[in-house]
Amino acid sequence: MNYYNEIKKQIINNEITKKVKDYSKNKSDLNTYYNIGKLLADAGKCYGESIIKKYSEKLTQEFGKGYTQSRLRYIRHFYEVFSKCPTLSDKLTFSHYCEIIWLDINQINYYIKIAEEFNLSVRELRQRVKNKEYERIDNKTKLKLISKEQNHLEDFVKNPIIINNINHYEVISEKILQKIIMEDIVNFLRELGNSFCFIANEYRIKIGTSYNYIDLLLYNIDFNCYVVIELKISQLKKEHIGQIDIYMNYIDKHLKKDNQNTTIGIIICKKDNKYIMEYCSDNRILSKEYELII
């Protein structure tokens, strides 16, 4: 087989398809790169790794930029990955796939899922990979993703949660931590997972004759429940759990409607105290570490 002529034919056919059927550009690109990747893999078996350099030079002469040795290796690896993995979405571009094809297969499937769900740009996907989002979800959640089990609200809350200190505060108090979060609330909500909406900070409630203030009150659309968040700059303490439990019960009594699920509480603390959480009887309360990024 003349592998080079077959590769050339794939490229020409793809250009024709994209001009005639603009709506199918992305699907045509992915199919073309998959087929070229297979041809490159087969050619490599016959002629060795040096064939990449040879084909790169010839393709560049005929079609111009876009066929560097590095890109051809990406195309070949694209085929090698997805010849073994059935998850190939034409909602993502080849540039999206270039960001994730060197990861392991479970990471690839995770990032494909969130890129589709949130319509991520290539830059946004790259940032999530850089922030090691997959590595920061619980191992139980990873197993659920593999077995395609139903997820719960807490599954996609990252640990640690990355909080961007965009204004470089040096002294961190609980008030300052809240201020930092409010200055970058969109990214903070993404760190918590899917479908979180901001309601208020310093949400005032009256318990007995005194007023108390919930650090952050959120709502999750997918799971149809309120979410109370308390911020602590110390390790988790038993009294923190008692405090947030009171706040959650208040929201359930005064805000929650009959068709809504019970309130979830999240304590964001400086260091996760696993001993206390292990013996915490209320499984609605989660404890997550935070990491300040300047």
Residue 22 binned pLDDT confidence (cut-offs 50, 70, 90):
low
| 234 pLDDT more than 50 | yes
Are 204 and 120 within one domain?
no
Are 117 and 28 within one domain?
yes
Please say which residue of 104, 136, 168 terminates a domain: 136
Are 24 and 114 within one domain?
yes
| 35 pLDDT more than 70 | yes
Are 161 and 283 within one domain?
yes
Query: Which three-class secondary structure state does DSSP give residue 207?
Result: strand
Are 196 and 279 within one domain?
yes
The stretch 214-235 carries a mean pLDDT of 93
Which range has the worst mean pLDDT, 18-27, 69-78, 199-208? 18-27
| 156 pLDDT more than 70 | yes
- Extract the tokens encoding 196: 């979180």
Name, in order, each residue with C-beta under 8 angstroms of 199's C-beta and a sequence gap of 6 or more: 217, 218, 219, 226
Contact 236, 201 (CB under 8 A): no
Are 17 and 34 within one domain?
yes
pLDDT for 146: 82
What domain range is 35 assigned to?
3-136
**Closest among 96, 54, 92, 56 to 72, alpha carbons compared:** 56
| 113 pLDDT more than 80 | yes
Q: 162-181: per-residue pLDDT in tens? A: 888 888 888 889 999 999 99
Are 150 and 289 within one domain?
yes
Distance CA 189, CA 178 (A): 13
Are 249 and 188 within one domain?
yes
Which range has the worst mean pLDDT, 75-89, 109-123, 218-232, 241-255? 75-89
Please say which residue of 136, 165, 180 terminates a domain: 136
What is the arrangement of strands in the sheet containing 225-231, beginning at the earlier edge strand?
Answer: 161-164, 285-293, 264-269, 225-231, 210-220, 196-207
Are 107 and 158 within one domain?
no
Burial 116-130 (b: 16+ CB within 10 A, else e): eeeebebeebbebbe
pLDDT for 3: 86
Distance CA 262, CA 64 (A): 60
Residue 277 binned pLDDT confidence (cut-offs 50, 70, 90):
very low
Are 262 and 151 within one domain?
yes
Please say which residue of 85, 101, 136 terminates a domain: 136
Number of compact structural domains in the chain: 2
Are 113 and 244 within one domain?
no
pLDDT for 228: 95
Are 86 and 156 within one domain?
no
pLDDT for 16: 74
| Mean pLDDT for the chain overall | 88
Find the CATH number of the domain harbouring 242. Answer: 3.40.1350.10
More confident residue, 272 or 14: 14
Distance CA 219, CA 264 (A): 10
